[in-house]
């Protein structure tokens, strides 16, 4: 059974930092496109960061560039999202997602990812 389990969410003030972690079991996420999505109340789920399975090339949406870093620990079968200088607009439920192949599509779309975690809540107060 494949499971992705997120952790590390919480409540912080604007300007603070959080490090989200995604632990995968039953599925080897090495050399797979991995991503973090978020969903704010009343808004659609959006992809914020992705990591290609080959070369580990990261990519981010404009609003988080320079503040978020996605990374992978192959030995632990885990993916992380370091979030610094958090803003109120970063508030939402954050989800880890895994694809079936190594390459991320040009646009982060929910349909490109096969496995999902249950999410971890991030709340940033201004």
pLDDT tens track for 34-86: 999 999 989 999 999 999 999 889 999 999 999 999 999 999 999 999 999 99
| CA 88/CA 126 separation, integer angstroms | 6
Calculate Rg over the CA atoms of the chain. 13
Which 8-state DSSP code applies to residue 6? E
Which 8-state DSSP code applies to residue 18? E
Is pLDDT at 124 greater than 90 in this prediction? yes
Mean pLDDT score, 28-34: 95
Is pLDDT at 15 greater than 90 in this prediction? yes
Q: How many CA atoms lie within 13 A of 75 on its CB side?
A: 0
H-helix segments, 22-80: none
Is pLDDT at 108 greater than 90 in this prediction? no
Q: Who contacts 1 (Cβ-Cβ below 8 Å, separation ≥6)?
A: 25, 26
């Amino acid at each position: 059974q494949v499971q992705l389990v997120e952790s590390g969410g919480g409540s912080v003030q604007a300007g603070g930092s959080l490090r989200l972690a995604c632990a995968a079991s039953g599925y080897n996420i090495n050399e797979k496109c991995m991503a973090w999505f978020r969903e704010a109340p009343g808004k659609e789920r959006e992809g914020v960061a992705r990591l290609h399975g080959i070369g580990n090339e990261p990519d981010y949406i404009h609003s988080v560039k320079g503040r978020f870093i996605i990374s992978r620990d192959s030995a632990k079968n885990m993916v992380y999202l370091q979030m610094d200088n958090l803003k109120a607009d970063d508030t939402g439920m954050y989800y880890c997602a895994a694809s079936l192949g190594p390459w991320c599509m040009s646009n982060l779309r929910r349909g490109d990812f096969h496995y999902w975690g249950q999410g971890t809540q991030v709340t940033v107060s201004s």
